Structure 1
Amino acid sequence: MNYRPLIFILISAVALTALFVVLKPAPKSPIQQEPTVNRGKTNAAPERSARRFELVIEGGALASGPRRIEVQQGSAIEIKVITDHADELHLHGYDLKLQLTAGEPATLAFSADHSGRFGLELHHSHGEIATLEVMPTP
């Protein structure tokens, strides 16, 4: 019996498996993104490319600022929030939270890495105050 074809197939399979293991791309690890929170004034130099938005909340509703925040995917975002009562702001889809203290400005800074439409909601008031729309990069 001739074993040459069988040995050739076996060596080829081992070589292909070795090449696959060596050349396959590394899996992307999920990175837990933590928001940057600034209370009041800061001396740190702001990012030049960050898109900045200011929201003023009175009585659990948006009193001033954009109801819809529209940005391109990959943009650096800073959302400054001023409220007349203590609450917690949630950015759904990104799972980011920001503690709000009455009369003190707070800033949520993050990178808009996920495309889609995401609600900005006050936790205790259970009201959506704005929507973040992240447009996919072309």
Structure 2
Amino acid sequence: MRLPRHDWLFATLTLLAGAPVWAAQQNASFEVKQQRIADPAPTVRVPQGDTLVLELRSDAPMDLHLHGYDLQLALKAGTPGRLQLQAQVLGRYPLAAHGKGHHHAPALLYVEVVPR
């Protein structure tokens, strides 16, 4: 039995609706000057399931921590550093400086994982 054209199209679209969505990679680069990126701190939004690669360069050495994902990055002055994460958990997460003199530093930026 042959399906009428409109039934074939409906069946194809129904099958495609259940097809997996391929994850993408998003890149963002920032310059840290005097322990800040901007005021207010920028927000990088990434769809859940995607990979986010942050490239950061600082005018001074600093240890960074992405809260919620517990990722750390030690930046050397003038040398770019990369922080990569699989955006799995929905929410808004601050990237902050840690270490000597940075215990209560404000967030440099926020990573916001949003539903796909």
Same-fold call, TM cutoff 0.5: yes
The answer to whether 1:128 aligns with 2:107 is yes
* 2-structure distance, mates of 1:73, 1:95: 17
Shift of 1:49: 3.0
Q: Deviations over 1:98-125 (max 9, x none)?
A: 0110000000012111110100111143
Q: 1:127: how far off?
A: 2.6
In structure 2, what is the equivalent of residue 86 of structure 1? Answer: 61
Aligned to 1:62: 37
Long gaps (5+) in structure 1: 1-47
1:100 aligns with 2:79: no
Alignment of 1:9-20 (within 5 A): none
RMSD (Å) for aligned C-alpha atoms: 2.0
Work out the percentage of aligned pairs sharing the same amino acid: 31
Rg larger in structure: 1
Contact 1:60 1:127 in 2 (8 A): no
1:75 maps to what in 2?
Answer: 50
How far apart are 1:50 and its partner, in Å? Answer: 1.3
What is the aligned partner in structure 2 of residue 109 from structure 1? 84
Count of residues in correspondence between the two structures: 89
State the Cα deviation string for residues 47-68 of structure 1 (Å, max 9, x = none): x9310000110001115xx701
Distance 1:86 1:122 in 2: 10
Which runs of no fewer than 5 residues in structure 2 stay unpaired? 1-22
Q: SS of the residue aligned with 1:108?
A: strand
Question: Aligned partner of 1:60: which letter?
Answer: Q
